[in-house]
Copies of this chain bind each other. A is one copy, B any other.
Amino acid sequence: MMIVMQANATAEEVQQVIGVIESQGFHPHVSRGAERVVIGVIGEARRAQADTFLRLPGVARVVPLSHPYKLASREFHPDRRVVTVGGVPIGGDEVVFIAGPCSVESRSQVLETAQAVKEAGAHVLRGGAFKPRTSPYSFQGLGEEGLVLLAEAREATGLPVVTEVMAPEQVPLVARYADMLQIGARNMQNYALLRAAGASGMPVLLKRGMSATLDELLLAAEYLLSTGNEQVVLCERGIRTFETATRNTTDINAIPALKARTSLPVILDPSHSTGHWAYVLPVARAGIAAGADGLIVEVHPRPEEALSDGAQSLKPERFARLVREARAIAAAVGRSALHEVPHVAAD
C-alpha cells in the first residue's frame, strides 16, 4: 500500500502517518518527490486498513499495490487449473459445451432437451429447478421435483448436471442430485451461500454479478477457494450498462482479462449476455475466439412456449450449428493459441 500525501501536507502530517504505520506493526518507506511525499507501507499489506489512513490529515489517497485476492490469482497459481464435472474436464484442451433449458418445466421437456443437446455435442446438461425471478409473480421453478427430473435426464443421457442453488440451506439438497452447483449472478456476493457451496466440496460454477468488477468476481471466487474447494469455474454472463439494445452487454474483454489474472477456467454464457437468440450464435463464436474454455447456452425445443427466457433460448438445431461453428473456430486457431494470454495485466 502506498499513501500519497497532499502537495501541501506538513511535516507533522507526514510524521503522524509514519507513526500510525509503525503502531500497526508495518514498516514505513518515505519517498519525497518534487511535488509531494509518498509513503510505502511495508509488510503483509492485505491486512492494512486503507480507511485508517484516508482519515489522517494531509493524506490525499491510498493506493493498494497487490490484488486483494491470493488463492484465485495467477501470480500465486501460475499453472492452468482444470475442474472436472462428472468426468468432464473444464479448462483443459477441449472447449466444453453446457446446454439445456433455462427452467426445468416438465419431464418430457427436460428429457427431450437433454437428448437433443447431447446429440448436438453438449458435454454437460444445465437446467434450473430453483429460479431467481425478478418478479414474485413469475414462475419460480419446480424445486426438488425439477432436481429429480434433471437426475433422470442424466441417467438417460450420461450428461452430468449443473443447476443453480439459491440459499445455503438448499445446498445439501441440490448436491444430492447435481454434479456441479451454480451460483447465479444475483448471488455472487451472497457470502453465506458462497461458504456453503464451497464447503460442499462440489464443483462450483460462479457467475459474475451484473455489476461486479473482475476484482469482485475474483474475490467471490476467493470465498469459495478459501473453504479449501478448488473446483471453481468462472462465468462471464454480461454486465449492466447504459445500452438497452441488448439485455446485457457481453464483456468480451473479461475473458482475456480474467485469464491474465487467474488460472481458473473461464466460460461464457452468451444467452444471458445478449438476451436475444439471434445474437447468441455470433457472440458464442466470439467467446471461443477470445479464449473461453467453454460456453453455457440455453436451449429449448419450443422457445415460444418456455416458462422463462424464451427470447434468448436456441432451438436444438441452431445449438447444433453453434457447436459446429465454435469447434471450427477453436480448431482454426488452435486451443493452445486461445489459451495463451500474456501475464502482464495483473496489477
Q: List chain A positions with a Cβ less than 8 A from chain B.
A: 2, 4, 6-8, 20, 29, 31-36, 38, 40, 42-47, 49-56, 60-61, 63, 65-66, 68-69, 75, 132-137, 166-170, 186-187, 189-193, 210-211, 213-216, 219, 222-223, 226, 239-246, 249-257, 260, 273-274, 276-279, 282-283, 285-291, 303-311, 325, 328-329, 331-333, 337-338, 341-342, 344-347
Name the residue on B nearest A260 (C-beta). B278
- Check A60 against B346 for contact (C-beta < 8 Å): yes
10 of the cross-chain contacts (CB-CB < 8 Å) are: A6-B75, A8-B75, A31-B31, A46-B137, A55-B310, A210-B211, A211-B240, A215-B245, A252-B252, A276-B345
Give min CB distance, A35 to chain B, whole Å.
Answer: 6
Cα distance A32–B341 in the bound complex, in angstroms: 28
The DSSP consensus for interface residues of chain A is mixed
- Check B40 against A31 for contact (C-beta < 8 Å): yes
Cα distance A136–B244 in the bound complex, in angstroms: 22
- Check A65 against B211 for contact (C-beta < 8 Å): no
Name the residue on B nearest A307 (C-beta). B49
Give min CB distance, A76 to chain B, whole Å.
Answer: 8
Cα distance A288–B242 in the bound complex, in angstroms: 24
Given contacts A136-B223, A166-B192, A167-B168, contact A283 B311 (CB under 8 A): no
List B contacts of A344 (CB < 8 A).
Answer: 276, 278
- Check A256 against B243 for contact (C-beta < 8 Å): no
List B contacts of A289 (CB < 8 A).
Answer: 282, 285-286, 288-289, 329
- Check B246 against A253 for contact (C-beta < 8 Å): yes
- Check B310 against A52 for contact (C-beta < 8 Å): yes
Cα distance A31–B213 in the bound complex, in angstroms: 29
Give min CB distance, A119 to chain B, whole Å.
Answer: 21
Cα distance A80–B51 in the bound complex, in angstroms: 29
- Check A303 against B2 for contact (C-beta < 8 Å): no
List B contacts of A8 (CB < 8 A).
Answer: 75
- Check A31 against B29 for contact (C-beta < 8 Å): yes
- Check A256 against B279 for contact (C-beta < 8 Å): yes
- Check A257 against B244 for contact (C-beta < 8 Å): no
Task: Indicate which residue in B133, B216, B288, B311 contacts A54 across the interface (CB closer than 8 Å).
Answer: B311
